[in-house]
Chain A
């Protein structure tokens, strides 16, 4: 049982109603120490010292006190009763005893007893010795463990066995359950990492972040390292908090599970598809001196040939290796290809007459022809063939397709060659879109050929034909339907019932108008002393007046000047009004160095605040310590922010103030919460071991 690296933290959650003994074993020395729950301790001692020298741990006589004896006989006393052991470095839990109820099924009340977990096995002993289920199982037989959520009705732990069946334990509190849960998790992780031996290299990387509590697999470590490498901002945070011990490794990553999960998904290997270049691009290299033509076929090209030309694939399966070798087969293929490319029809015909196998390559692909026929049947009858008429670029100069090894701008001379070009294009497009279903890394052509047989079986066209036919007909019906012959189609929906939409308006109007300086003056409804009739008459009269007057008096010079002045003043006043511009521009106004520094602080604060607030309510001593750590870190940043605020040049002092203020406020809120909680805590009277009893 080897642990990885010396920098290991052990963190455990303990709750008030802990029962029995905790036995800890130091991994470097063989001695076992035990201490009762009163002697739980908190180590303020700098970790380095503890790491470097073996420590004997001995409970002091007096309660709430523990002495650490170092080999040099220096001793440390820890008199703080409210603190307790949170992170004891390099200590491994050897066994735990916890009171629990064993349940055969969830509904049962369960049998009270003691669950004991050790490295190898876990045992359950009922309080009542006459009770039946006394068992003893090795962890080796455990497949997995499940647990109820913190805060749910029961604190359950479900240990599932390889051979089926499970043990369900009901704990008095979640923290007790969590101790067991974590224990099982660790043991299982260890067992699993032992099984595929040698894989785990224990990552003794110097830049590796210290691994805390949980046992990490090499893969998990690798994943985290990769994330840190890729995201410099994340790395900065990690360096700031984890390396300095403000946050533990697991705390840091706990808020970033989604990142880790994404990384897992990305691990699944993505297969590349077929190249989008056409097959015809296997161009022969022609040796100028001899009359030889060289083709270079790679496994990948062969894969593509099989996919695009099923008849060749069929022939390959038929002939190789019984009738000819693979090499001969491809030689023939290339010969045929060359004949085809040079468009030497006469020669091709002559050759084909002589050579049966060669003829096969020169024939049209009958499998494809069949498939095409099938496909044409399934074409949507409402397809608009005219839609892409204008998309024909072939007539434009400079366009063309490398087909048959040379630029083939539409030579309409040969109807057949044009047809095959578009057919080849379509076939190629179809194959590319279908995607590749197999790996061709092996390079074994036989295997590639076999794999194509398998993949074809999977995607038979006929199977889906019937339902597709039905669907096609329905679609045609829908498309050709005459709307006015159909009854109105009503979708069933529940209409939104809103009693008075005016509420929405009112909830916004006041603010909106205030910001414009409309302080409600004249905000009365239209005076209704005029009758509707009169009002309409006024409108009509005005319209006829407009007819008579025309545009004679619309531009009056003095008014025009006033308007222009007013607008200009308005524009220049809003332009220099910093406060009301959006915050983005405030940031841009700052010198880059200050801006970067502030932004850095802001990300740090965000991270800390996230951890801080998620720790409340403080139910365990572990959380208590975490909050303490974070609070100290926040105080440091607070101090730094104050310094920035004071040291900054007077030009941008106001801007900096605007930015720093909300950060300080956020921190103040956190400190206030800490103080309030701390007072409540002391008012209630902290339990001797520093955490509240639940329930």
Chain B
């Protein structure tokens, strides 16, 4: 770990464990709108970090800054303790930050395998791969099937099915599976269940829990407070571009979170 920049501490409730992904003092304005005003965030291994806030609080902007889709005006981002700067979403992804966007990032007419491997297809070994650039379809299919099975998306039977023939929950499961499939370091989900029915949302929530149990750090934006309270280990609350509190669902109530979100209560020390 030579050349490692130290992550400045943000108060250190988590003791000595190193966050997988953290950001310090992120500022971002759109013209005269200050979307983020000095935000810190840390996410640790094996935890689901909830991110809540009213509409316009800056959640999506923060996520975009963390995942290379936007460039912060100032502030630093650290991945496994090392400072990183992302030029574009691809760079963030290559560094191991996977995002599941609110609008499904899947190509509906491609099959499940093609979607899982889109942008990082496997090529055959040997002459066929090198000269004919032939894809290793059998391996991709097998691994995709394993991945889908491993995540317990049992309702998907045929890995060669076009994504548009799947239900909304299954499609979102494909998006999540893709994000989880490539040994990524952090998973970021921006309202993954917003477009889903109750049963389908439940499916996706189970998926998130099983990924967390595998040790995957997850940042989860959601308006579904009860679900968040069940899934999240910590919930960070944004208001008008600032962090106004970090609550642990074990020791705090949803009402406290809502009070902080709306400004009805002011967090101690802010």
A complexed with B: no
